[in-house]
Structure 1
């Protein structure tokens, strides 16, 4: 089965400053290069990737974009597109988008749980910036706490011409309490009710606990997400190398394939390849 990985991180700490890694330990503290990803992905059927921004220092965002666009131009790499960092409320946001305009640019992300107050994404300035993305046929990634999914749904409703991607199953609380699970489920349904949203089945393996099989822990969250969004609006993503906090890239793909095995083969192909190819216009 062919696979498009729609959430591939890379970071070269000799090239870029990532403040959030200042106190990190391995495996995240070291650099993660295209060669490292190629080794991790060997034999897994991955035919293309979409880069996901890594929260570099603000003054390095444009350089990060140009760096990954160069990787997209290199036929030796699997990367075919990129979602780069950006701040929709910035006064120069339109000028920034002009500077980084590229056929490889697929969207913008600003992590909404990185110290920002709940509701930040619903300010008039933020909404205006996200609407600008829609005018340019660009997407916006929603990366927020599971308890803030209602904000993501509200933003999607305010920006009907913009396409949204919900990261990491809405940050499903895999090992959370029943109350946390219920809050997540309600929020997930709200986002799924917005027709201009898709969801990445990604990331949550990093939140599993030792000693319990991955599939057993992840099945409830993944099945809930698949059923909420339906087979046409789910896309595979690895969140590599963050996933390696608990599992290898191979472990994650093997686990997800096992969980998908009971679903029709066309739905499996849509998750792993077809939906991403259509959504990102590859």
Structure 2
């Protein structure tokens, strides 16, 4: 049964929140939507629906929105992206996965993402391992690339395929640049589905340019009703991606750290004559090695050295450790890397025959 994590949904209670932009949506979505409505659209399908990532709704009181969403305390809200204006001293609520500053709205002039305050905000998010969700105009895709390029560790999720309406060369050029960034993810949503030719050409382009681990299923519920409808969008993506579990669930789980973090500690011996070479290797890892580690759900990995011993600490946020380690073991770049590092190491005394790095047991953890 297909597991689904919706990486982009909205809900709002108009008795609590005021959304001025709904004035232009009369008769379509200008009403309240709650979590029951959200769950209901998936209820008709034979799937395992886990919930989704709540995305801020551009209301006129962000504090009130924060209070409302956090008060719901529902298992269907797997992660939260709340609103903030990026700057050096921005407000970041506790318990969020990241923030969004809408760049596509009329009140935001082009160039905002190139301002120094915006770049400073990205740097702060990167230091705190928080995500920035970018919802921008198509004409700003190059600007987004230029701003993200200045903060190499920033995790950025481009909403709605960049809000594309025409699959022209300028769009393709900008998206190819964005696809080259190591920490840029793409939500497959926001496009009109009634034009099947356009939709399929767009999806083929995206799948061809972006690594599959960077693509996220998103419905944009209930805003999807403004340009398509939920059922048509969901069905189209199921057919195109052939119910791929990574696209529909695993990629989002890893990015938003939805699963409880698993911690691993291990030890191995370092051959004395290989110490300098081993340190040189890790000062500049081979291309693709770090990317594969992240792709496989490892969100933190540290190796410590003392004399002839190496100690590693690893945090894993995926939901199928054996599966992800199998993916890593089949990766050509990783295999080439291991051919360099393995001769530098040797098992510790007492390690099991099936252990290279030997597992360590937790003795104490400060609570």
1:142 aligns to what? Answer: 134
Counterpart in 2 of 1:202? 189
The answer on 1:113 being equivalent to 2:104 is yes
Paired residues of 1:4 and 1:273 also in contact (CA < 8 A):
yes
State the 1:259 CA deviation. 1.4
Cα distance in 2 between the residues matched to 1:33 and 1:118: 33
1:208 Cα deviation after fit:
4.4
Specify the SS of the correspondent of 1:81.
strand
Q: Which runs of 5+ in 1 are unaligned?
A: none
> When the two structures are superposed, what TM-score results if normalisation uses the length of structure 1?
0.85
**Do 1:41 and 1:249's aligned partners in 2 also have CA atoms closer than 8 Å?**
no
Distance in 1 between residues matched to 2:26 and 2:217, nearest whole Å? 27
Q: Following the alignment from structure 2 to structure 1, what is the Cα–Cα distance between the partners of residues 178 and 134?
A: 10
Query: Deviations for 1:163-219, whole angstroms, at most 9, x for unmatched residues?
Result: 00011112121xx3xxx6211111111111111101011121xx345xx5xx43311
Quick one: structure 1 residues 199 and 127, their matched pair in 2 at CA, closer, same or farther if it must change by over 3 Å? same
Is the contact made by 1:50 and 1:82 (CA closer than 8 Å) also made in structure 2? Answer: yes
Question: Using the alignment, how far apart are the partners of 1:246 and 1:117 within structure 2?
Answer: 24
Match of residue 281, structure 1, among 252, 257, 261: 257
Distance in 2, matches of 1:106 and 1:138, equals 6
Q: Which residue of 1 aligns with 2:94?
A: 101
- Which residue pairs with 1:82 in the alignment? 80
- Superposed counterparts of 1:218-237, under 5 Å: 218-237=199-218
Three-state SS of the structure 2 residue aligned to 1:23 is helix
Q: 1:92 offset after TM fit, Å?
A: 4.5
- How far did 1:245 drift? 2.4
Which of residues 177, 181, 184 is equivalent to 2:168?
181
The alpha-carbon deviation at position 4 of structure 1 amounts to 0.5
Larger radius of gyration: 2
Q: Tell me the C-alpha RMSD between the 2 structures.
A: 1.7
Q: Cα offset for 1:161? A: 1.7
| Alpha-carbon displacement from aligned partner over 1:220-262 (angstroms, at most 9, x marks no partner) | 111211221121110100001111224432321111111123x
How does the TM-score come out when normalised to structure 2? 0.66
Relative to its length, the structure with more helix (as a share) is: 1
Distance 2:74 2:104 in 1: 33
SS of equivalent to 1:84: strand
- Larger mean Cα displacement after TM superposition, 239-248 or 46-55: 239-248
Contact 2:193 / 2:233 at 8 angstroms: preserved in 1?
no
Give the alignment partner of residue 157 of structure 2, picking from 165, 169, 189.
Answer: 165
Deviations 1:19-59 (A, max 9, x none): 111332122211111121121121433212000111010xx
Q: Distance in 2 between matches of 1:201 and 1:157?
A: 22
Structure number having the greater strand percentage: 2
Partner of 1:28: 29
Contact 1:61–1:85 (Cα < 8 Å) also in 2:
yes
1: CA distance between counterparts of 2:70 and 2:218? 19
- 2:145 equivalent to 1:153: yes
Unaligned runs of 5+ in 2: 259-367
- CA distance in 1: counterparts of 2:226 and 2:10, whole angstroms: 14
The CA deviation at 1:66 is 2.7
Structure 2 counterpart SS, 1:158? coil
Q: Is the 8 A contact 2:119 2:151 kept in 1?
A: yes
CA distance in 2, matches of 1:158, 1:122: 10
Check the 8 A contact 1:149/1:190 in 2, yes or no: no
